[in-house]
Amino acid sequence: MQVLYKSTRGTGDKITASQAILKGLSDDGGLFVPDSIPKLDVDPETLSKMNYQEIAYEVMSRFLTDFTEEELKACIEKAYDSKFDTEEIVPLVKKGNAYIMELFHGPTIAFKDMALSILPHLLTTAAKKNQVKNDIVILTATSGDTGKAAMAGFADVPGTKIIVFYPKNGVSPVQEKQMVTQKGENTYVVGITGNFDDAQTGVKKMFNDHELAKELDQAGYQFSSANSINIGRLVPQVAYYVYAYVKLMERGEIQNGQEINAVVPTGNFGNILAAYYAKQMGIPYGKFICASNENKVLYDFFRTGCYDRNREFILTSSPSMDILISSNLERLIYRVAGEDSEKNRELMGELTKTGTYHITPEMEDGLKEFYGNYATEEETARTIRKFYEENQYVLDTHTAVAAEVYEKYLVETGDEKPAVIASTASPYKFTRSVLTAIDPKYGDMDDFTLAEELEKLSGVKIPKAIEEIRTAPVRHNTVAEAADMPQVVKKILKIQ
């Protein structure tokens, strides 16, 4: 069955998967969604015997129906290879009353590698399929992890350039060092004097700037996105929720058909939406537990039905979740609005104009599978320490937010179903926050000494990603105002 893609704000015009991946964002400002979520018509028992690459193929081939088997398998093979430091790609580790799904074994030690290792291959394959003559300019805003993972994926890929914008004082020292030392003649990194939402809004504005698009086209370029607004980012993420379920079956931890819950530390809403899509494909997930940090806009939304970004933006120890505009939530809003693009457009217009929108009681009914809660900075630190003492396992700050929210969920509901906690980053990305949570004595050490201490404490070898940046020279040092982002892009592309 062919799956086509339409805009959440559009008139119903449909395009192929490869076209949606190339465009990134629809011309009307909407996000591309499949016209129907395909069912995964492979027996779970059969799936449970497959490796990660094979399961990824079964999932992605149902969504990306205009890619041939040969094309898609080639993309998967290039993506999930020795770049990952574990053969199984996504280990599942039982700790306490949940399974930690370790999504950080890729080249940049964050879950973004799971999708950004394959996106460059999907994108260049899509360009060939659609006879694209222009060079593709990947334009991306990052709250810390997407930027590095996207640059690592696209570095020196022919026919592409990648420009990443990040909040200059809003990422961890390791995240920043990973980005500013990135190699590749086609990679560019720009710190902006603002927060992630400023960077993301600036990127979206450029996507919707038709004059800029014309100038780019004349110079032989066109924009695409590596953010999770790109459907080519979202589809590969569905695969690991399918994988987690069937591997727990294979291990005898759950029975075929038994419901499990997913606990996801959430910023831009793509990762938790992928779990929801896995359920729509037929995988028996029960509740989606949406974990926020002190920027708890999603917690408030799930409790009240009102999305309100008019609040203080808080810099926390889990910076990848320091977000007040969760872009991917629009895909869920569109779905619970009965795929009514007019209603969705009205709500997103209100968000742009007033910073807030209210959904109807009928739409709220469609969110019953979601539970939202949040962790304060103190709770996050306490959870890291407690989890280490009880399990001799070190959580990063984002996974600690999820673990804390899961405990709150258990107390509030008593729902003891097995749960998978998405572990979105290695603790090595946030050594200072992690180690000082375990013991304040680590506070005076520099970041690389902290990495050595974490190795002793956790028994986990320092990842290659950290070793590499220790002595790497800084290659990118541009800083700009958010308002000047289009000028910066033109300067990089030499189309002034």
Active site residue ranges: 112
Residue 263's alpha-carbon distances to 216, 260, 276, 420, in angstroms, are 41, 10, 11, 6
Provide the angle, in degrees to the nearest 10, between the axes of the packed helices 270-280 and 231-250. 60
Q: In what order do the strands lie in the sheet with 187-192?
A: 221-224, 135-141, 160-167, 187-192, 478-480
- Tell me, rounded to whole angstroms, the distance of Cα 313 from its chain centroid: 20
| Nearest-angstrom CA–CA distance, 23 and 51 | 31
- Token pair in block for residue 343: 């209603």
| Nearest-angstrom CA–CA distance, 430 and 199 | 22
312: Cβ–Cβ under 8 A, 6 or more apart, which residues? Answer: none
| Nearest-angstrom CA–CA distance, 46 and 63 | 20
Exposed/middle/buried for residue 366 (C-beta within 10 Å: 0-12, 13-18, 19+): middle
Residue 79's alpha-carbon distances to 13, 69, 277, 373, in angstroms, are 31, 15, 22, 34
| Nearest-angstrom CA–CA distance, 225 and 93 | 33
Backbone angles phi, psi at 34, to 5 degrees: -65, 145
Amino acid identity of residue 309, one-letter, is R
4: Cβ–Cβ under 8 A, 6 or more apart, which residues? Answer: 14, 15, 16, 17, 34, 35
Answer for the pair 269, 298: CB distance below 8 angstroms, yes or no.
Answer: yes
| Nearest-angstrom CA–CA distance, 291 and 417 | 17
Helices (H) and strands (E) in the chain, counts: 22, 15
